[in-house]
């Protein structure tokens, strides 16, 4: 199911499992405040799906930044596929980096 709650829960689980933070035991998760994350239906190259954009923060450390993801169901209707990217660039403007992430995610075929 491509509900906002499921996408957040799944992303947080995957980042905890596969993206360790700089401090032992730390990991990224979606920051849920101030109206974020934003959740919208979109179409990317004939694939209908959901985009999720917002901010991530590190549990157990002081890190964070923006992220962008696109989730869709494969052509056979068997799997949910998520393409996700995030930015970590302390003390730098992140807009251009996030635009690059979004372009990469939307280049899916």
Report the CATH number that the domain containing residue 52 is assigned in CATH: 3.10.450
Place of tokens 């372009």: 103
| CA pair distance 6, 94, nearest whole angstrom | 27
Is this structure's pTM higher than 0.75? Answer: yes
Angle among Cα 31, 37, 42 to the nearest 5 degrees reads 150
Count structural domains, the chain: 1
Q: What per-residue confidence (pLDDT) applies to 77?
A: 87
Tokens of 36: 């974020």
Residue 41, domain extent: 4-105
Residue 35: pLDDT above 90?
A: no
Q: What is the pLDDT of residues 49-87, one digit of tens each?
A: 999 999 999 999 999 999 999 999 988 989 999 999 999
| CA pair distance 100, 96, nearest whole angstrom | 6
Q: How confident is the model at residue 33 (pLDDT cuts 50, 70, 90)?
A: confident
């Amino acid at each position: 199911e491509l509900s906002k709650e499921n996408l957040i829960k799944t992303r947080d689980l995957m980042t905890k499992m596969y993206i360790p933070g700089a401090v032992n035991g730390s990991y990224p998760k979606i920051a849920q405040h101030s109206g974020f994350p934003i959740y919208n239906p979109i179409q990317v190259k004939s694939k209908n799906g959901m985009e999720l954009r917002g901010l991530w923060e590190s549990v157990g450390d002081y890190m964070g930044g923006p992220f962008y993801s696109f989730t869709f169901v494969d052509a056979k209707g068997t799997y949910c596929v998520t393409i996700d990217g995030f930015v970590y660039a302390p003390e730098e403007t992140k807009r251009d980096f996030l635009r690059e992430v979004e372009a990469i995610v939307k280049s899916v075929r």
